Structure 1
């Protein structure tokens, strides 16, 4: 994945996180992401930095959603 694409993905994940927090009223625990200090607008940072930020943010979002889910969701289509 190119750096520009990774930055775009980073921005999209940040928007998903904000949207999820608004809808659920919960705060996504993303301490690891915050500690990195990398934001989607940090275009001067390296590709590796953005990759680490994407993984940290995705982990925070999925962990919050997993805690919220009471029952497993079927993988089959209705």
Structure 2
């Protein structure tokens, strides 16, 4: 993945976390992401820095989704 694509993905994930907080009044644990100090607008940062930020942000979002999931979905198709 190119750096520009990674920065774009970083921005999209940041928007997802913002919308989740706004819509669901949820608290996503983004301590790891915040500690990195990398934002989608930090274009001068390295590709590796943005990759680390994407993984931390995605991890916080998915962890929240796992905690919120209450209904088990069958693995079979309808």
Normalising to structure 2: TM-score of the pair?
0.92
Unmatched segments (≥5 aa) in structure 1: none
Residue of structure 1 equivalent to 2:5: 5
Equivalent pairs counted in the alignment come to 78
The Cα RMSD (Å) is 1.2
Displacement, 1:72? 2.1
1:49 aligns with 2:49: yes
**Structure 2 alignment gaps of length 5 or more:** none
